[in-house]
Structure 1
């Protein structure tokens, strides 16, 4: 389980350090930095997929996502006695992402490319470190990358230089992970690849979830929900059909969901009280379809180590927020879940169910976590 999440230099997240629980709810006003936190988590996962450079390119490149304010705020700036202005920089410009659990910790430091190159908006991976425990110390790192060089530590504690020509756009998680001398890197890579993100399922008339699809066993719902019918059929076959029925009945009393099969094609059907025939996915309201998508994601027969839901309340009627909260709280017994939301009813219900509430706010353009103690954290040095 991820216990600490730390981000530095990304958009409004100048230096955010958070304690994360099995169920964590991140909330705050519009513009407080919730979306930036969600994107930072996606960037961490993209490291293990070898896509972090491409993902940052979609945001305009490294220069477009760096913290735009001063390196430090003076006391007079915070009091308002002096306008916010640039200060003498003490540290190098960087974007840092990291997390830690009781077992392992990982951090990556991205910097600016050499001026004048052809790929001026691509970040350069300066350092990466993998260590044991919550906090990086001098003696607990067993994989360290500085520039093109990667040093690994064996079971006897001996360190050796394993790689010397790693490209600045390649992560050691993707290029140095192997069962022989990079088993820990391999385990971390697979953990990050196991993270799942669900962000604004489409529910319009042309949404993939409304179409018939070829049915295959689907223990993990796709990010766009295109395989909804197959995911529900898989839950019915190898998952907990009782939980599926209970989740539907909790939100829509007297209703049930099934999957119609025709020549190998699957289609969702929903029976509702008072209707003589089931409604197909093309006929369901946006809110109903979104709820079914969330049910399929949260009742996955293959629960991930971490699932992140970004504004799952979108399109939902307020009456569905309480059933959704119960569904999320139950899923948090099988997976660690982070919910990013500004729906107070959902946030309150999840907090009451035992979730940790983190409220973000802006101070002088910087995202801060209100009333939160900053956990201990050490970034790897360049």
Structure 2
């Protein structure tokens, strides 16, 4: 289980510490920071694949992703007694990402500190640098619990005697501790965190336009995980049927479209979807499906994957779906959380209510709500009025 995600200095997330449950529903008004939270989770996942620098570059570089407000927001500013204005910076310019795991009491944490590059004549001078990385065991990064750390290019790992073992080489500013230290004997915590982050799975907006690949026949091979664009949906449906999830998939389709059934047509190596509906003499092919029908089929295929991830993050799954489909979608999301810790980012109160109704049939501790709102340009969690109202979190120093 991931218990806590922390983000500092990223867009409107000046200092956000987010508690996660087995199924976490994140809501908030438009512009509250839900998309920034979703992107920050993708950045965290990219740490395990050496993709975080590339991901920030795609967003316009560190300059455009950093928090644009003052370093600190005092009480007088929050109360409206003083205007927002710049102050003398006390800390370094930084974008920080962190995560805390707690697997049956065996805690493991990771924090990454990204900063501005040193003055250089390189053509890649806009790339952020990895200034510091810290891995710790237990619930907090204390000196006695740090298992591995990187400061600048210097890396060391904790040995069995409680001392430190130095890594033989210096890491470059764009190289991560998680991807460069590959030693399951001396640094098992690094391997464990890397595999955790690499397993995270994200789904955003599936294409359902007239030329969407999911409408057309595609090359089919065994596909236990639907691609992010839904390209291989027919092969993914056939795979989940052959791996024993067919009954659950058929039930999800019947729940949304009573009496309907999805078939997979195979023509040599080409796979395509067919949907049989009551009252029709022939099945409907992919190009004939409505946008909402196709989008629901894609969500059902993604959420019922026979190879669930450790963390599943879905962003606004209600988009383009009729309200009548939201109860079925809510049930799908609750079912997915039984196999994978799930985060749902949504602005739909109808979907939230549908998830709540479906979750009432399971353990009470399964569902957690998080509402975001923006105050003075900063995204905050409603109800977190002080440090005691949020999970404990401490950023390691550089």
The TM-score bracket by the shorter chain reads: over 0.9
Q: In the alignment, is residue 374 of structure 1 matched against residue 390 of structure 2?
A: yes
Q: 5+ unaligned residues in a row in structure 2: which ranges? A: 360-365
TM-score by length of 2: 0.94
Q: 3-state DSSP class of the match of 1:268?
A: strand
Equivalent residues in 2 for 1:199-210 (5 A)?
199-210=204-215
CA deviations 1:86-141 (Å, max 9, x no partner) are 11211111000001011211110000011354323211101101111222212111
CA deviations 1:216-252 (Å, max 9, x no partner) are 0001111111010000000100132110111001000
Q: How far apart are 1:303 and its partner, in Å?
A: 0.6
Q: 3-state DSSP class of the match of 1:53?
A: helix
Q: Higher mean Cα deviation, 369-378 or 318-327? A: 369-378
Q: 3-state DSSP class of the match of 2:167?
A: strand
CA deviations 1:304-352 (Å, max 9, x no partner) are 0000000001110100111000011011011000000001110122234
The equivalent of 1:242 in structure 2 is 247
Q: 3-state DSSP class of the match of 1:239?
A: helix
Aligned residues: 382
Q: How far apart are 1:181 and its partner, in Å?
A: 2.3
Candidates 262, 282, 295, aligned match of 2:267: 262
Give, in whole Å, the separation in 2 of the partners of 1:273 and 1:95.
54
Give, in whole Å, the separation in 1 of the partners of 2:46 and 2:244.
28
The equivalent of 2:143 in structure 1 is 138
The equivalent of 1:114 in structure 2 is 118
The equivalent of 1:169 in structure 2 is 174
Q: How far apart are 1:374 and its partner, in Å?
A: 1.2
Q: Does the 8 Å contact 1:112/1:124 carry over to 2?
A: yes
Give, in whole Å, the separation in 2 of the partners of 1:214 and 1:185.
37
The equivalent of 2:301 in structure 1 is 296
Give, in whole Å, the separation in 2 of the partners of 1:351 and 1:33.
23
Q: How far apart are 1:153 and its partner, in Å?
A: 1.1
Q: 5+ unaligned residues in a row in structure 1: which ranges? A: none
The equivalent of 2:71 in structure 1 is 71
CA deviations 1:51-73 (Å, max 9, x no partner) are 11111011110111000000111
Q: How far apart are 1:205 and its partner, in Å?
A: 1.0
Q: 3-state DSSP class of the match of 1:49?
A: coil
Q: How far apart are 1:264 and its partner, in Å?
A: 1.7
Give, in whole Å, the separation in 1 of the partners of 2:139 and 2:291.
42
Q: In the alignment, is residue 195 of structure 1 matched against residue 200 of structure 2?
A: yes
Q: 3-state DSSP class of the match of 2:127?
A: coil
TM-score by length of 1: 0.98
Q: In the alignment, is residue 2 of structure 1 matched against residue 2 of structure 2?
A: yes
Q: Higher mean Cα deviation, 368-377 or 8-17? A: 368-377
CA deviations 1:26-79 (Å, max 9, x no partner) are 110000000000000000111111111111011110111000000111222112
Give, in whole Å, the separation in 2 of the partners of 1:184 and 1:72.
34
Give, in whole Å, the separation in 2 of the partners of 1:304 and 1:312.
18
The equivalent of 1:54 in structure 2 is 54
CA deviations 1:241-277 (Å, max 9, x no partner) are 1101110010000001110001121101111111111
The equivalent of 2:85 in structure 1 is 85
Q: Higher mean Cα deviation, 172-181 or 346-355? A: 346-355
Q: Does the 8 Å contact 1:17/1:374 carry over to 2?
A: yes
Give, in whole Å, the separation in 2 of the partners of 1:177 and 1:311.
36
Q: 3-state DSSP class of the match of 1:107?
A: strand
